[in-house]
Structure 1
Amino acid sequence: MKSITINGSKRESVGKRATKALRNAGQVPCVVYGGDDVLHFSADKTEFQNLIYTPDVHTVVIDMGDDGKVDAALQDIQFHPVTDEILHIDFYQLFQDKPVSMTIPVRVSGNARGVKNGGVLRIINRRFRVRALPKDLPDFIGVDITEMKIGDVRKLSDIEKEGYEFLHPEKTVICQVRTSRTAIVDEVDEEEEDEEGVEGEEGAAEGAEGAAEGGEATEDTSKE
């Protein structure tokens, strides 16, 4: 998984007054859990643009200068209910030898055959929780829908996993191609055309047989 760097500084005071002062200065108070000690730091709100305002998922390297660097993952974020300003962010410290759970987005590729034939693609679940070592966390869960026909379904069991596991049942549906009114009409028209073709052929055959029988009867009458 790709990682982004956030430049922060350790917080010496964590009281309400200090926190308010940080926010007034354009800083976001943050906490990192999961290590030997809880780490309090702050960073400019612009540091989080590529982490929060994106559909992609990243791990984080928190660079605190002389205080060192910490590998972490976003755990929780609080926004102001009116202004949507970032109020506080919680991170979870990552260790390369310890598995971690993260929510990963689904990325669909290809143009389904069923959609070309009038079906509709329905994405049932757009994110899934996975568990893996930090180095094995995927950037996204790729689903190729090119060969999907009307009625086909893609499940978690269809995904090739490399180094990670889903924290959901294997039968969980990712997406499906469902029929639509247009597709049904097209199928009915094709069936009707096929039936009409068969009936026409049968009618032509019966006519030919009738003509042949009529010719023989006339021939017999004329001989008498």
Structure 2
Amino acid sequence: MSEHIIKATGRNVEGKGASRRLRRAASIPAIVYGGAAAPQPIQLEHEKTWLASQNEWFYSSILSLDIDGKVQKVLLRDMQRHPFKQIIMHLDFQRVDENQALKAAVPLHFINEDKSPAGKSADVVVMHELNEVTVSCLPKDLPEFIEIDLAALKVGDIVHLSELKLPKGVEIPELKLGKEHDVAVVTAKHGREEAEAPAEGESADVPAAKVAKKDDEK
């Protein structure tokens, strides 16, 4: 697992006014919380943090947060963005205890779809029902992503949550809640099945055009 270092500095002044001044100075107000230590207000340089935020690992990996030369292991737990500008408004980081299991959302990477029987068929639609999954593990076991090999995927196949190949020490808590939580991750259907599915509010037996025609005849 790669080490991802994020630079930050501590800050003593809090409040909305202080946060606005930080943003005008191209910095991001943030907070670090969790563990035995008290919550700590910090600030990060916007440009470098924005570039880091364009990477998948920023959201799913354990980060080495360097605060004034002292490194803490953290997970990003919340990011507030500006509604339409490319500006990060605030970040929340949670401290990580290396001896305590954590829960985190991990991205799914789908490989070999184009080599599969379903992927090679022009009239088959392969749907990725999930793009990430929440796992539980010790920090040292947290994967940056989980790979799903679709090389053998055929039309009609469904890949369920329980079929994912997880790294050692990693589990999916949702699967402990019952069979109904073993949801589909990938499905492969004929394209015409998608097209023939009735839209919400329409009858599956009577086309909308015919219904309209009948109404006109009244």
TM-score range, shorter chain: 0.7 to 0.9
Are 1:12 and 2:8 an aligned pair? no
Alignment coverage as a number of residue pairs: 181
Runs of 4+ in 1 over 6 A off after TM superposition: none
Q: Which residue number in structure 2 is paired with residue 103 of structure 1?
A: 105
5+ residue gaps in structure 2? 176-180, 194-218
Are 1:175 and 2:186 an aligned pair? yes
Question: For the pair shown, which has the larger CA radius of gyration, 1 or 2?
Answer: 1
Q: Is the 8 A contact 1:2 1:59 kept in 2?
A: no
5+ residue gaps in structure 1? 183-224
Q: Which residue number in structure 2 is paired with residue 2 of structure 1?
A: 2
Moved more, 92-101 or 112-121: 112-121
Aligned pair partner of 2:63 in 46, 60, 64: 60
Are 1:135 and 2:146 an aligned pair? no
Q: TM-score, normalised by structure 2?
A: 0.76
Q: Is the 8 A contact 2:148 2:165 kept in 1?
A: no
Q: Is the 8 A contact 1:153 1:175 kept in 2?
A: yes
Q: Which residue number in structure 2 is paired with residue 115 of structure 1?
A: 119
Letter matched to residue 24 of structure 1: R
Q: Distance in 2 between matches of 1:82 and 1:71?
A: 31
Structure 1 residues 147 and 87: alpha-carbon distance in aligned structure 2, compared to 1, 3 A threshold: same
- 1:177 is displaced (CA, Å) by 1.3
Q: Is the 8 A contact 1:51 1:58 kept in 2?
A: no
Q: Over the residues paired in the alignment, what is the CA RMSD in angstroms?
A: 1.9
Q: Distance in 1 between matches of 2:55 and 2:66?
A: 21
- 1:18 is displaced (CA, Å) by 2.2
Letter matched to residue 39 of structure 2: V
Q: Which residue number in structure 1 is paired with residue 169 of structure 2?
A: 163
Q: Which residue number in structure 2 is paired with residue 40 of structure 1?
A: 41
> SS of 2:165's equivalent?
coil
Q: Which residue number in structure 2 is paired with residue 75 of structure 1?
A: 77
Q: Which residue number in structure 1 is paired with residue 199 of structure 2?
A: none
Q: Is the 8 A contact 2:61 2:142 kept in 1?
A: no
CA deviations 1:78-116 (Å, max 9, x no partner) are: 112232411110011111111111111110011221222
Q: Distance in 1 between matches of 2:121 and 2:26?
A: 53
Letter matched to residue 19 of structure 1: S
Aligned pair partner of 1:89 in 78, 88, 91: 91
- 1:3 is displaced (CA, Å) by 3.4
Q: Distance in 2 between matches of 1:167 and 1:26?
A: 40
Q: TM-score, normalised by structure 1?
A: 0.74
Q: Distance in 2 between matches of 1:151 and 1:80?
A: 42
Structure 1 residues 91 and 137: alpha-carbon distance in aligned structure 2, compared to 1, 3 A threshold: same
% identical aligned pairs:
25
